[in-house]
Structure 1
Amino acid sequence: MTSLDIAKQYYDSFNQKNWQGMLALLDPNVRHEPNQADEPRIGIEKFTEFLQSMDESYEETLTDMVFFTSSNDTRVAVEFVVNGIYKKGDEGFPVAHGQSYVLPAAAFLEIRDGKITRVTTYYNLTLWIKLVS
């Protein structure tokens, strides 16, 4: 399976809310670099906690996905639109009451030996706060 196949399967699993399918594609020592975070999360346990927290607070589907791959088949970039509902407030963010939002975003994946070893996500946090305020 190519890196592009793995990335597409990862995001298909996300849209299907198949968290186990996503986790199965990750290296046990995956490095997760979320938008605006102070420190990366290292390891599948930390990533699992992140997914659980996201599932509680947000209902999201990704659309308009465009994938880009490196020539050596180790990196994939993906641009997409996040279509979401803010279900439960996160600390330091506006109060949640089911606000919907549409937000452009991007992610960068590093893939080695058939597993995703890094996930880096970017979006405009200021715009997201404006959309849910």
Structure 2
Amino acid sequence: MSTTDLIHRYFTAFNAGDTNAMLACLSDDVAHHVNEGKIRTGKAKFADFCAHMSHCYREELTDMVVFEAESGTRAAAEYVVNGTYLSTDDGLPEARGQTYRLPAGSFFDVENGKITRVTTYYNLADWMAQVSA
């Protein structure tokens, strides 16, 4: 499977809400660099993060474009996050079912057919403005 195929499989699982399928794409010691957060290492912490996110947010990623480095060991994806804020997240505005739409991107390291690093970026100020309106 190519790196591009792996990244598409990861995001297909995300859109399906299938955390187990996402975990199957990851190395055991995956480094998860969360936007505005700490680095979490390992599949268990990644699964915990996904559970928290599923509780607070419902999201679908669209307009996906995946880029792969020639070596196949690095990739990037650009997409649009279409979401609903379901439950108030710590330190953030109160959730009232607000919807949002914002551009985002993820960067990946890949070794032996598994994702070893996921780094996600989006504009938190843009998100805050949308859910506070």
Q: Distance in 1 between matches of 2:42 and 2:33?
A: 11
Identity fraction in percent: 46
2:110 corresponds to 1:111: yes
Tell me the residue number matched to 1:2.
2
Is 1:64 paired with 2:63? yes
Where does structure 1 lack aligned partners over 5 or more consecutive residues? Answer: none
SS at match of 1:23: helix
TM-score (norm 2): 0.98
Give unmatched runs, 5+ long, in structure 2: none
1:113-128 paired onto structure 2 within 5 Å: 113-128=112-127
**In the alignment, is residue 25 of structure 1 matched against residue 25 of structure 2?**
yes
Q: Alignment RMSD, CA only?
A: 0.5
Runs of 4+ in 1 over 6 A off after TM superposition: none
1:36, 1:12 → 2: CA distance?
24
| 1:50 partner SS | helix
Separation (CA, whole Å) in 2 of partners of 1:88 and 1:20: 23
- Residue 35 of structure 1 and its aligned partner are, at CA, apart by 0.6
Cα deviation digits, residues 77-103 of structure 1 (max 9, x gap): 000000000000111100001000001
